[in-house]
Chain A
Amino acid sequence: MKKRSGWSSITSPIKKSSGSGLCQGSLPGNGFNQKEKPEDQKRRNKDLIGRVRVVDADGDDVTPRPLVCPVPGFQKSLDELFFSIPKLSSSHPIGPTQDSLNAEIEDIFLGQTHPPPQLFKKGDDAEQHAREKMVGECDYISLTETETITFLDIPPTIISVADDDAEAVIQRNLSYAELCKSRMCSDKYIDRSMQTLNGALKNKLTQSEKTGTAGKGMAATNWDIYDSLYKQNETFEGEEADHKEKSVSSRSNTTDTDNTISSLSEMQICGSILNPESEPEKEILLPELLTNISCFMERTVVLDAFQANLAAYRQLPISEGSDRMAKHGKHSEESLDPTLELLWAFTCELTRGYCITSMAWNRQNPDILAVGYADFDSRCLKPGLICCWTIKNIMWPERVFHCHSSVTSLDFSANDQLAVGMFDGTVAIYNICIQDSSVACVASSSKSSRRHLHPVWQVTWTAKRLELSLADVLVSVSSDGRIAKWSIRSHDLDSTDLMWFRSDKEFKEAAENLKKKKMVLSKPNAVCVDFHPTDFGIYLAGTQEGLIHKSSFSEGHSFLATYKKHIGSVNHIEWSPFSPDVFLSCSSDETVQMWKQGRPVMTFKSIHQGPVFFAKWSPNCSTMFGVVKEDQVEIWDLNLSIVFPTIVHHAEPGVRLTSLLFARGTDCVLVGDSGGQVTVYKLKNFRVGESKQLNKMRQKIGQMLPCLMSLHFCCHIQMMNIIIKHHNSVAGVMDGLWGSRPVQKDHGAH
């Protein structure tokens, strides 16, 4: 064993035994003490009287402080202990000394002290001498570190190339490689095999609980992921919803999400089982779902059934199933004359027996048509009807509104409000998005103090220029002599008069003129009004006397101009949508008059007698307009003829034609009759005029009519508008031009 210079009297190795640390230190095993006895004895027996002091080379006191607070009697006993140890060890064998030592230590702790002199007396004299000698002298202990003890040293097999031995190593490697190569053939080496003995294996068994597994397969489709994410977000919002609904919908959700095609049969079985339980819950959801579906289905089916007709309406080529030709609508069998081709009729049981008074297209959705029905047979305030039809479903109207009085006129505003004028003087505004008839009526003038008391013959929306935008203003015309402008306040309408007819003088004059005719005038009043399409605020009003007044919003009760041409009541006035100063007027005196710049330029009169109810311009063609008489509808095309209507279509016997409407964007015309039917006709074989052709015509007319005053050209969608100044002399020339056709005669003084 190496000699170690410990720190002080307390040696380093620690062994566990009973007793405190201090004592432990001194106890290390008698083995130590036995061997070190002769040398250490001197070292240890330093200062018997004083404390043990350790001093290093510099003279500093580096005595370690005791771990335990020394008890006064304890010190002494420690010294005794020092003595006793060698003493005991020398006299007695190892084994029992331990026990006696232990006993002694215990005695020390208990506070008993053995009489030290006993030990002294027993002990060696030599020791004592040595001890006495050593008193006062310092023992020098040198503390040094041991050398580093290496337990394991595995040198690396890689050395750097820059190392000193590198070359030698490289050489060795090379030689070894050569050796390996030559190994095969040389006799120096013999192959031998070795067996490694594996240690015996020992089996050890353990037991654990079986981890449960379950297999689940899902087809994670794109929509599945999206739905799960959406459902997650929705759960917070949907918690307040009806639980029943949620349960049904969630059930159906689960059926869809877990529904790979393989598990379908399972689902069907589940479905039939679920059915009896969930009947009441499903009843809640079904009607809502079904409404949508059935609506859609109806449209699909109807579209299918009437596909050819609707395609013709939309000017689409017709599908293979039919025998029609798809090009230009020309038939080899039929004649090439322009004619009206019947497509379909908007009619249903609800509307049978009603008389159609007005029709209007929705401005936002050109497929929606509003039709106003009136029951005029009994001449009393019978409830009227408004139906909103759509091209997509021609079998049944989308909306049916029942009104308390017969509907006399309709108009759609630019923002989807439907204004309705009724026979009892009520003006109402409907919101067609709502199904329920009572709720759909957004505003009504029935409670207004300034409402009309007589039938409202026309309602129209017009734009009024505000500071920044255009607002829609509702204007109505009624038999009580007022043209009123309405404003909407909450649910009521309130009116302000735009014009007011009162003059008695005019009435008398007109009455004299009319004595020849069978007209009856009660009071001078306006029957129709039309606002200028571009020049906001200017409007024309036609009266029952045959006068047309031009006025504007700002004018108040005076007129800008008055046009007298008609003898009978002016039934309808319309500005031309293409030309800004041309308008058309029709009256009960069987004529239709075209005016330009306030002067009547052309009069149209067909052979057939009868008051003209409507004369409307076609929105597609600038030279075309339609005229409705009681039993026929006429389509005039000024390109082809200015004397005769291009098409004359007779009504069925027993039915009066009452209303006319052109379809925008397509060459169809709608005719309403007194049987509650709106018939849709397609204008066949009408040639869309080209500019070249019109030029030719213009030249032709120009040659023939030297007194041509103005030729007005309005190039709009390839159309041109020809207006020929009507003059007496012109009539004669035209007589010659067109042969023996009847001459138009001027009516009236102007």
Chain B
Amino acid sequence: MGEEVEAQMKRIEATKGVIGTLVVDPDGVPIRSTLDQSMTLQYAGQLRQLVILARSAVRDIDPQNDLSALRVRSKSNEIIVVTALVYIQSPSKV
């Protein structure tokens, strides 16, 4: 992974309020995680379905749109999922 990305990930993890981070590849396999193994697998498995559902919902309404972020806010914490475009379409500048 690029150095910049590494540095960014470290900064994210160091931000106040962040419990852990998890990076998942397009097939759903976790690449990098700061949580323990069981939590990682759980989150990866559960969130994958949710992300697919959310993406399907967004794209059903407008096929040219795509899901960029998904937030699940619960009583105890908040999960933020950020997805990338896998298709090589006209990218939106972040």
Contacts and interface: CB of A to CB of B under 8 A. Distances in A.
A298 B12 contact: yes
Q: Which of A238, A270, A296 has the most CB of B within 10 A?
A: A296
B68 A296 contact: yes
Nearest to B18: A301
Contacts of B89: 230
A528 B28 CA distance: 59
Most B CB contacts (10 A, CB to CB) among A251, A270, A272, A290 go to A290
Contact of A226 (B23, B27, B28, B63): B63
Nearest to A433: B93
Interface string B33-70: 00000000000010011001100100111011000110
B42 to A, nearest CB: 13
A286 B31 contact: yes
A264 B94 CA distance: 30
Interface in A698-744: none
Contact of A222 (B12, B23, B31, B59): B59
Interface residues of A, number: 46
Interface stretch (A169-177, A208-216, A252-260): A252-260
A75 interface: no
A292 interface: yes
A396 to B, nearest CB: 6
A592 B61 CA distance: 59
B75 interface: no
Contacts of B63: 222-223, 225-227
Nearest to B91: A292
B69 A300 contact: yes
Interface string A291-302: 111111110111
B87 A227 contact: yes
Contacts of A304: 17, 78, 80
Contact of B27 (A271, A290, A295): A271
A272 B31 CA distance: 11
A264 B2 contact: no
A282 B9 contact: no
Contact of B8 (A225, A255, A267, A294): A294
Contacts of B85: 289
Given A222-B60, A223-B59, A291-B2, A256 B11 contact: no
Interface string B69-94: 10000000010101111111101001
Contacts of B52: 256, 259, 261, 264
A58 to B, nearest CB: 86
Contacts of A268: 27-28, 45, 48
A272 B29 contact: yes
A167 to B, nearest CB: 71
A249 B1 CA distance: 18
Nearest to A245: B88
B27 to A, nearest CB: 3
Contacts of B61: 222
B60 to A, nearest CB: 4
A641 interface: no
A296 B48 CA distance: 19
Contact of B17 (A249, A271, A305): A305
Given A222-B63, A290-B23, A301 B87 contact: no
Give me the 10 closest cross-chain CB pairs, A-B, nearest first.
A223-B59, A226-B63, A271-B27, A252-B26, A289-B84, A294-B8, A287-B2, A223-B63, A222-B60, A297-B82
Interface of A: 221-223, 225-227, 230, 234, 238, 248-249, 251-253, 255-256, 259, 261, 264, 267-268, 270-272, 274-275, 282, 286-287, 289-298, 300-302, 304-305, 395-396
26 contacts: A222-B60, A222-B61, A222-B63, A223-B63, A225-B63, A226-B63, A234-B88, A253-B86, A264-B48, A264-B49, A267-B27, A268-B45, A289-B86, A290-B1, A291-B2, A292-B84, A293-B23, A293-B82, A296-B82, A296-B94, A297-B21, A297-B82, A298-B12, A300-B82, A301-B12, A305-B16
Given A259-B52, A296-B68, A300-B80, 15 more contacts: A222-B59, A222-B61, A223-B63, A252-B27, A252-B86, A261-B52, A267-B28, A268-B28, A286-B31, A287-B5, A292-B94, A293-B23, A298-B15, A300-B69, A304-B17
